[in-house]
Amino acid sequence: MGNKPDSAMSRREFARRAAFVSAAATLTPSNLLGAKSGAGPLPKQQPANTAKLSPEGQAEVDSRIQSILAQYGSRLSDTQKADIRRLAIEAQPSLDRLRAFATENGDGPALYLKPLMEREKKPSPMPAPPKPASAPKNS
């Protein structure tokens, strides 16, 4: 079988795609989140075994986690908070790859999927120009 670039998002199936994660690190929750529950101070370190994020990417992840904890922190255990942090970190490289893909201002988003079921992009054949009237053969 051929190879695909290793940068491809590594997720086996829909199950984990739905969570938008790539399999990677196993975390030690206590290393990550000190707060028992609710929105607490964010840990500064990245979990081991995850790709290093750019400062901008890290800030985005932190912001995302802060938002989750502010809204839902009181209902989450420390283990869940750590898992959420891991998911957010692991999703960032995929987001970066998606954003890096060149699209033009005029590229239309497939707002509601319409499969290309007909050759819509092909112009219909132009009607043939009218032939000049030929002279009657036996005139």
Residues found near other proteins in the complex (CB under 8 A)? 1-5, 8-24, 26, 64, 67-68, 71-72, 75-76, 80, 83-84, 87-88, 91, 94-95, 97-101, 103, 107-118, 121
Torsion-angle region of 38 (φ positive above 0: left; ψ -120 to 50: alpha; else: beta): left
Reading the block at residue 60, the tokens are 């985005």
* Cβ nearer to other proteins, comparing 100 with 135: 100
Nearest approach in angstroms of CB 139 to other proteins is: 49
We find the least distance from the C-beta atom of residue 101 to other proteins, in angstroms, to be 5
Distance CA(103)–CA(100), nearest Å, equals 9
Q: Which is nearer to other proteins, 107 or 125 (CB)?
A: 107
Amino acid letter, residue 38: G
DSSP 8-state assignment for residue 138: T
Length of the chain: 139
Q: Write down the least CB distance from residue 126 to other proteins, Å.
A: 21
| Identity of the residue, 115 or 130, whose beta carbon is nearer to other proteins in the bound complex | 115
